[in-house]
Amino acid sequence: MRPFEPIVIVGAGHAGVQLAASLRQMGSDRAIALINDEPCLPYNRPPLSKEFLKSDADAKSICLRSEAFFRDNGIDLVAARVEQIDRNKCNVALSSGGSMTYGHLVFATGARRRALELPHGDHPNICYLRSVADGERIRRYLKVSRDIVVVGAGFIGLEFAATAAAQGLRVQIVELGKRFMGRAVSSPVSAHFESQHASLGSEFHFGRSVTSIVLDDGRLVGVTLDDGRGLSADLVVVGVGIVPNIELAASADLPTGNGIVVDDTLATCDPNVSAIGDCAIFASRRYGAPIRIEAVSNSVDQAKFLAGRLTGASGAYDAVPWFWSNQGQSKLQIAGLARDVDQVVVRGSVGEGTFSAFCYASGMLMAVESVSRPGDHVIARRLLAAGTVVRPDQAADVGFDLKACLAS
Amino acid sequence: MLRIRFIGIDGETAEVDAAEGASVMMAARDAGIRGIEAECGGALSCGTCHVYVAQAYQAMLPQASVEEQDMLELVAAEREAGSRLSCQISMTADLDGLTVRIPDSQT
């Protein structure tokens, strides 16, 4: 440790900003440099697929913290990209020409959108939703579009689809899998959201992929699916996942795979270097495997953990992952990770659209997916954190008091 | 501009401006008020923008929705009669001068 050199945080997304803020909250008086490669104040990403699209608000309206916050807390917000890292000299070279010595270096480099690899995939009317610039662009197109094709029925695609359909636009969703959010949620939850989106007027094409983009005199007019069917479209929004930004770490000879490899304290093999958030694949005690989680909550939780470690706390990172997605009138909240699930029990009313799916693996509760039942979600996070046993028959019985279970 | 008074963890009071229609959470975030985390950015999903509304203003606020009440069960600090999620309090002219206290902890 070089306690007098700054903590340099590469990336000013949710993870980087929270780390800087938590370090100060925990009393650290070390110099902090937060390196931001986007041309605006660090911002909140979730609204980009929802509220931000409905308003004319500027990027400032969704900023994570005000300019005054960074200034008053002595957090040096550096507008630059890190070009190179010299771990022997503990030095980073910036795109602005300068360089910086670090006492501790943190990768909070996040992830970038996976692109649609097709001819004309870079057409201006083929949009993604990752950055505020993406959001602003889609917002402009939404005002003049009529026919929208959404590629990918994951969280982002579906949140956008709900927003667009609510504005009265025709929305068609193309998904390679057989159901909505198939990699993330159980079947009852997929089915609920399918009916929600159907009631908004959206149409779906499951088990299909886009094989070509159709232009007419340079104008986007549609896409072709792998079964040969054509869908007309003047706007295509692609949400087919994200790729962790590991290249900078790899170029500094740090171990990388599906993320920057860190241990259960979020440290890389170099004790002066850590990684947090979407870019980090960490040794999870809870799941006994290396995992990488793409979520705001994970970014924030890992940032807080690391701030604790850098200010003297010990222990391993073991927070319960959680997620949320608001689509139309339905609110999805997930606690835990549904790994190897072999039994799903429903609590509440699927018909009324207020229920929770309790997901079990070999009788052990792994995850709880709540649809407009935030109370269940709240309790589920506590149950999972405490490792409390809730049997499937208890979970299914709405008369059974989960809270009492927690107290015992 | 409307005024909101935040009583911090250390007992110090900070007065901030808020536009009509802005949430108390947004005003706090913009002013860099400590102790309001608002991890989810106002999506009613995290329960980390908990405040205690001063008694004089409690009855002036619209009742908390069922969702907000459920989320209030999650808050880290003690839940009191004035407990609200600040992302759900929208500023109106009659709330000018609204006073809220920030809890010891949000997580």
| Summary mean pLDDT of chain A | 94
The alpha-carbon gap from A123 to the nearest alpha carbon of chain B, in Å, equals 32
pLDDT score at A342: 97
Cβ separation of A326 and B73 shorter than 8 Å? no
Residue from A172, A153, A160, A165 nearest A128 by CA: A160
Cβ separation of B45 and A324 shorter than 8 Å? yes
What domains does chain B contain, in order, with CATH numbers? 2-101 (3.10.20.30)
Q: How many residues does chain A have?
A: 408
What is the pLDDT averaged over residues A13-18? 96
Contacts of A331 in chain B (CB under 8 A): 44-45, 67
Question: What is the distance between the alpha carbons of residues A128 and A117, in angstroms, rounded to a whole number?
Answer: 13
At A89, is the pLDDT very low, low, confident or very high (cuts 50, 70, 90)? very high
In contact, A141 and A163? CB cutoff 8 Å: no
Sheet harboring A126-128: ordered strands across?
A: A126-128, A235-238, A147-151, A170-175, A203-206
Instruction: Inform me whether the pLDDT recorded for B74 exceeds 80.
Output: no
Cβ separation of B41 and A379 shorter than 8 Å? no
Cβ separation of A378 and B39 shorter than 8 Å? no
Contacts of B10 in chain A (CB under 8 A): none
Residue from A25, A112, A94 nearest A65 by CA: A25
Contacts of A50 in chain B (CB under 8 A): 43
Contacts of A379 in chain B (CB under 8 A): 73
Question: What is the distance between the alpha carbons of residues A368 and A378, in angstroms, rounded to a whole number?
Answer: 10
Lowest mean per-residue pLDDT among A16-25, A212-221, A393-402, B39-48: B39-48
Nearest 5 degrees, angle CA A151-CA A155-CA A158? 55
Contacts of B40 in chain A (CB under 8 A): 46, 296-297, 324
DSSP line for B53-68: E-HHHHTTSPPPPHHH
Q: Which residues of chain B have a Cβ shorter than 8 Å from any chain A Cβ?
A: 29-32, 34, 37, 39-47, 67, 70-71, 73-74, 107
What is the pLDDT averaged over residues A39-46? 93
- Residue A380: Cβ within 10 Å count: 30
- Residue B85: Cβ within 10 Å count: 27
Minimal-distance CA residue of chain B relative to A326: B43
Cβ separation of B31 and A66 shorter than 8 Å? yes
Q: Is A184 helix (H, G, I), strand (E, B) or coil?
A: coil
pLDDT digits (tens, 9 = 90+) for A154-186: 999 999 999 999 999 999 999 999 999 999 999
The alpha-carbon gap from B30 to the nearest alpha carbon of chain A, in Å, equals 5
Host H or E run for residue A190 = helix A187-199
Rounded to two decimals, the ipTM of the complex is 0.79
In contact, A378 and B70? CB cutoff 8 Å: yes
Contacts of A300 in chain B (CB under 8 A): 37, 39
In contact, A157 and A325? CB cutoff 8 Å: no
Contacts of B47 in chain A (CB under 8 A): 378
Q: Which residues make beta-bridge pairs with A256?
A: A260
Cβ separation of A62 and B67 shorter than 8 Å? no
In terms of pLDDT, which residue wins out, B25 or B39? B25
Cβ separation of B70 and A379 shorter than 8 Å? no
Q: Which residues of chain A have a Cβ shorter than 8 Å from any chain B Cβ?
A: 25, 44, 46-47, 50, 62-66, 68-69, 72-73, 296-297, 300, 304, 324, 326, 331, 333, 372-375, 378-379, 381
Minimal-distance CA residue of chain A relative to B34: A25
The alpha-carbon gap from A288 to the nearest alpha carbon of chain B, in Å, equals 25
A408: amino acid identity, one letter: S
What is the pLDDT averaged over residues A74-97? 97
Q: What ranges in A252-314 are assigned the alpha helix state H? A: 296-310
Contacts of B73 in chain A (CB under 8 A): 375, 378-379
Contacts of B34 in chain A (CB under 8 A): 25
Q: What ranges in A218-347 are assigned the alpha helix state H? A: 247-251, 296-310
In contact, A96 and A80? CB cutoff 8 Å: yes
Nearest to A66 among B32, B70, B74 (CB): B32
pLDDT score at B31: 79
A12: amino acid identity, one letter: A
pLDDT score at A2: 58
Cβ separation of B32 and A65 shorter than 8 Å? yes
Instruction: Calculate what percentage of chain A has a pLDDT beyond 70.
Output: 99
Question: What is the distance between the alpha carbons of residues A17 and A162, in angstroms, rounded to a whole number?
Answer: 29
In contact, B17 and B25? CB cutoff 8 Å: no
Location of structure tokens 């170029």:
A251
The alpha-carbon gap from B67 to the nearest alpha carbon of chain A, in Å, equals 6
What is the pLDDT averaged over residues A37-60? 90
Write down the pTM of the prediction. 0.92
